[in-house]
Amino acid sequence: MNTRLLFTLMGMLIELLNPSMAGKIALPVAHELNTLENHVCGQRRGYFPFDLATRIVGGVEAYPGEFPWQVSLQVLRKKPVEHDIEKNPSSSYHICGASVISSDYILTAAHCVKDFSKDKLVVIAGDHNILQFEGPEQASRLLNVKIHENYNPQSFEADIALLELASPLFLDGNRVAPICLPSTSKASKSVAVASGWGTLEQYGSLPNVLYQVALPIMPTESCQAMYNTVDYGAGDFIQKGMLCAGYKDGGRDSCQGDSGGPLACKQSDGTYTLCGIVSWGFGCAQPNLPGVYTDVFYYMDWIRANSL
Residue 97's pLDDT is 94
Residue 144's pLDDT is 97
Nearest Cα to 124, choosing from 142, 143, 138, 136? 138
Q: Annotated catalytic residue: which of 94, 140, 148, 159? A: 159
Cβ-proximal residues to 28 (8 Å cutoff; 6+ apart), any chain: 168
Question: pTM value?
Answer: 0.80
> Catalytic site residue 259?
yes
Helices H, strands E: what count in the chain?
A: 3, 15
First to last CA, the chain: 43
Nearest Cα to 179, choosing from 105, 279, 244? 105
Residues 175 and 210: their CA atoms lie apart, in Å, by 13
Residues 56 and 263: their CA atoms lie apart, in Å, by 12
Residue 236's pLDDT is 72
Residue 135's pLDDT is 87
| Mean pLDDT value across the chain | 78
Low-confidence ranges of the chain (pLDDT < 50): 1-38, 47-56, 81-82
Q: Annotated catalytic residue: which of 72, 99, 103, 111? A: 111
In contact, 54 and 213? CB cutoff 8 Å: no
Beta strands in 48-101 (DSSP E): 60-61, 70-76, 92-100
Structural domains of the chain in order of their starting residue, each with its CATH number: 68-177 (2.40.10.10), 190-297 (2.40.10.10)
Cβ-proximal residues to 20 (8 Å cutoff; 6+ apart), any chain: none
**DSSP 3-state assignment of 34?**
helix
Q: Which tens digits make up the pLDDT trace of 245-291?
A: 888 765 555 565 578 999 999 998 889 999 999 998 776 656 677 88
Transcribe 119-155 into DSSP letters: GGEEEEES-SBTTS--S--EEEEEEEEEE-TT--TTT
Residue 178's pLDDT is 97
> Catalytic site residue 84?
no
> Catalytic site residue 111?
yes
**DSSP 3-state assignment of 220?**
helix
Residues 299 and 182: their CA atoms lie apart, in Å, by 10
Transcribe 105-122 into DSSP letters: EEEE-HHHHTTS-GGGEE
Residue 40's pLDDT is 82
